[in-house]
Amino acid sequence: MQTHGFTLTAEGPFDFGASLRFVEDWPATAALPSDGRALRFAYCAESDWRPIGVTVTGAPGGVAVATTRPAGPGIRGEVARILSLDVDGTGFAKVAEADPVLGDVRERSPGLRPVCFWSPWEAACWAVIVQRSSMLIASRIKQRIAERHGARVDVDGHAYTAFPPPVSLLDAGGLGLPAQKEEWLRGLARAALDGVLTTEHLRALDPQDALAELRALPGVGPFSAGLILIRGAGAPDAFPGDEPRLFAILREAYGLPEDTTATAYRRIADAWRPYRSWASFLFRASTYGTAGDRPGR
């Protein structure tokens, strides 16, 4: 099969190997095979909702990308967003140096940048599927939905399944989810087709306005809204208002008491501007074993 190639250059430190190691440990990508050298996946491009296969390998100063169909500016921008290469990271080191706790976490994996979901739409669906479920079970359900309703794409001689586009889930039933979650997914599909669940729309808003708009969507609470904005749209400078797991990590890292308020966490995060999302990601990633020694998966 003919492939089409382009390169993406990082502004500031970037370690593609660290991104690969994160993907190997991230439950949302548990179904992806890995050879430790390339990131391969299939998804429905947000620019046109058509399936496309992608292979990413490391290159001097960035990455080399091969796609299964021609990649215009839209798709190039999406791949850049997925690897956070659409953000100038040259100032992040200075932010980390000013906060010794963050600096220690970054020092263990200095070139790791947030790895995002293939689209805000897919991030929103994951947020609904994983509610009141283990990440392992959620990953299996998401993969099953992709196999039933998504497209299969040949990537480097192997079949990869793309999670279905919004239009495919508008009237879909029998997804293996409770009726309420299936209704929420249909509502999210309508929002995506209306342009609400898109990177362009969400990144154009002030982070607090974007979070508020996302919380108004079906099945989306404070945690899910932060996930969609930060790990879906790839907004580099947002801080989730309510994420118990992140708060617990910060309590341990900064030696904070159990009754620390959300305002106090936001005050800590204010020192990370304009990279609040990146700093939050590094703290979470440290529990996956990506930064530093990696425990068994």
**Which residue, 151, 85, 114, 95, is CA-closest to 26?**
114
> What secondary structure does DSSP assign to 254-277, as a single string?
HT--TT--HHHHHHHHHTTTT-HH
Phi, psi values for residue 141, rounded to 5°: -65, -45
* DSSP labels, 206-248: -HHHHHHHHHTSTT--HHHHHHIIIIIS--SS---S--HHHHH
pLDDT at position 246: 93
Tokens of 73: 């500016």
The pair of structure tokens assigned to 215 is: 């919380």
pLDDT tens digits along 176-196: 999 999 999 999 999 999 999
Give residue limits of the domains in the chain: 4-110+117-239+278-286
Residue 5's DSSP bridge partners are 66
User: Measuring CA to CA, which residue among 5, 6, 22 is closest to residue 14?
Assistant: 22
> What sign for the dihedral angle of Cα 239, 111, 19, 60?
positive
pLDDT attached to residue 1: 61
pTM of the model: 0.93
Tokens, residue 227: 């996930």
- Which superfamily is assigned to 4-110+117-239+278-286 in CATH? Hypothetical protein; domain 2 (1.10.340.30)
**Positions of the chain with pLDDT lower than 50, given as ranges:** 289-297
Q: pLDDT at position 294, please? A: 37
Tokens 């910060």, located at residue = 250
- φ, ψ of residue 201 to 5 degrees: the values are -65, -50
Token code pair at residue 160 = 């990869």
| 110 upstream amide cis, omega within 30 of 0 | no
